[in-house]
Structure 1
Amino acid sequence: MSRFSLQDFIKETEQKDKGEGLFELETPRMLEINLNKQIWAKAGSMVSYRGRIKFTREGVLENGLGTLLKKAFTGEGASLMKAEGEGTLYLADQGKKITILHLQNESIYVNGNDLLAFEPSINWDIKLMKKIAGMMSGGLFNIRLSGTGMVAITSHYEPLTLKVTKNNPVFTDPNATVAWSGDLQPDFVTDISLKTFFGRGSGESIQMKFSGDGFVVVQPFEEVYYAESKS
């Protein structure tokens, strides 16, 4: 048999049931969900499914943030879809690496564009980064997830988790920040000198400052978001 036969390709790439439960990493960049009731997922992330599954799009930013915000921020990263039914669902987001977290009465903040899916048992709330709303073109909101259940987040390449302590705060680029622990509240600081090095506008001088006890997750990639312009 030829080394590059069609049969070899199918054998190497075919779906394999690992028996890991509701959330399963089929590949590092493909999430398999063995759906039996309902989950929340990022709108537009469905790649394939089998079974009887119904999808309903929900606007995340319609959760009490006002008509102005709904008109200003309407990108794919700003909305979720609800998948209901029974079957096997496959999710992915632009080839980004997927990490599964099992929250056990814990909380975490996730950048709105880096949240892929979560169980309905998880409580969620939208938090707008008001202090930088006028300085950056997007990536202005994050989602606080709390409770017990499965959560899937995404990152460009491998994520890095940095410990935050009272005596050792961590500074990050907002566009490279994926998530942070639920008991941390970032401050936004401006370093004018950074504009000398980057020359990409005032946004480059904005940093997120994390103080206290917890962690922050960053990615080796600056993910820049742009709100859709409305006429």
Structure 2
Amino acid sequence: MRSDLFGSDKLERESLQPGLALQNSKMLKVELEGECLARTGSMVAYQGDVRFQALGSGGVGRWIKQKMTGEGVPLMRISGRGDVFLADRAADVHLIDLDPGDSLTINGRNVLAFDAALDYDVRMVQGVGMMSASGLFNCVFSGQGRIAITTRGTPVVLQVDQPTYADPQAAICWSASLRTGYHRAEQLGLGTLLGRRTGEAFTMSFAGQGFVVVQPSEEVHHGLGGEGQQGGSGNQGLLGGLLGG
């Protein structure tokens, strides 16, 4: 049988060491010898003795935060020995290695998988408040290990060495040491009063030393898990959030 489909660029890539690696730009390969954590529903294929366990947001404390805020990463634990292939709607996949002392803030909807040894929490985005369409809460990762994130298109990495601003729907991740805030980009005037809009009413601001990763797509926000409330009704109240699923 002959076909370009069977070309060497499409064959399974063998990893030099266990863990997370790119199969291609749209797919993550996990050579599993133990366990890792991944977004629920992201598995597209696997080989070997592999088990999957639903974890919600990854612990009771994080589950409560998710229910209170509408934010979180729906996770599953993958354990065993074998090869697991993960993807998220053909989004681009990128790998980030954290070293001891590193700390990274990531929009949960862009988290695909990460080493089980990493620490993570759901924390408030400081200085942005209710104005942030990227959500009041993001995931903060620290420790030593590898994370796989997704973007819609090829991103740009901005070094924050001067005042830096990004659309909150396009900002994917940034150094956790950066100070975030709110910045009105649209100038108020007669046109604004008449209902004319630029579509750039406000941006997130970043200050300090570090970097911001921005994708070329302004996704409609549905919470960190990518499965949040429709129609912008992201704040359903503590009781409603705790009881709603």
**TM-score for the superposition, normalised by structure 2:** 0.78
- The partner residue of 1:14 within 7, 11, 14 is 11
What is the rounded CA distance, in whole Å, between the counterparts of 2:183 and 2:210 in structure 1? 19
The corresponding residue for 1:153 is 149
Q: Which moved more, 1:93-102 or 1:7-16?
A: 7-16
How much does 1:141 deviate?
2.7
Q: 1:89-168, aligned counterparts within 5 Å?
A: 89-105=84-100, 106-129=102-125, 134-135=130-131, 139-165=135-161, 168=162
The one-letter code sitting in structure 2 at the alignment partner of 1:26 is Q
Q: 1:6-45, aligned counterparts within 5 Å?
A: 6-12=2-8, 13-19=10-16, 21-45=18-42
**Would the aligned equivalents of 1:139 and 1:224 in 2 still touch at CA under 8 Å?**
no
The corresponding residue for 2:225 is none
When the two structures are aligned, how many residues end up with a matched partner?
219
The corresponding residue for 2:229 is 228
How much does 1:45 deviate?
1.1
**Would the aligned equivalents of 2:98 and 2:144 in 1 still touch at CA under 8 Å?**
yes
The one-letter code sitting in structure 2 at the alignment partner of 1:73 is G
What is the rounded CA distance, in whole Å, between the counterparts of 2:185 and 2:118 in structure 1? 37
**Would the aligned equivalents of 1:46 and 1:90 in 2 still touch at CA under 8 Å?**
yes
The corresponding residue for 1:175 is 169
Q: Which moved more, 1:22-31 or 1:129-138?
A: 129-138
**Residue deviations 1:35-90, cap 9 Å, x none?**
1111111112111111122212222287536868517637xx73111111111110
**Would the aligned equivalents of 2:131 and 2:182 in 1 still touch at CA under 8 Å?**
no
Cα distance change, pair 66–48 in 1 and its aligned pair in 2 (3 A): closer
**Residue deviations 1:199-231, cap 9 Å, x none?**
5xxxx5231110011111101110112323669
What is the rounded CA distance, in whole Å, between the counterparts of 2:20 and 2:65 in structure 1? 36
The corresponding residue for 2:67 is 70
The one-letter code sitting in structure 2 at the alignment partner of 1:19 is L
What is the rounded CA distance, in whole Å, between the counterparts of 2:218 and 2:15 in structure 1? 33
Q: Which moved more, 1:137-146 or 1:182-191?
A: 137-146
**Would the aligned equivalents of 2:126 and 2:180 in 1 still touch at CA under 8 Å?**
no
SS at match of 1:70: helix
**TM-score for the superposition, normalised by structure 1:** 0.82
**Would the aligned equivalents of 2:29 and 2:84 in 1 still touch at CA under 8 Å?**
yes
* Unmatched runs of 5 consecutive residues or more in structure 2: 223-227, 231-243
* Unmatched runs of 5 consecutive residues or more in structure 1: none
Identity %: 32
**Would the aligned equivalents of 2:130 and 2:136 in 1 still touch at CA under 8 Å?**
no
What is the rounded CA distance, in whole Å, between the counterparts of 1:20 and 1:68 in structure 2? 35
Q: Is 1:84 matched with 2:85?
A: no
What is the rounded CA distance, in whole Å, between the counterparts of 1:89 and 1:65 in structure 2? 26
The corresponding residue for 1:47 is 44
The corresponding residue for 2:236 is none
The corresponding residue for 2:56 is 59
The corresponding residue for 1:190 is 184
| Cα-Cα RMSD | 2.8
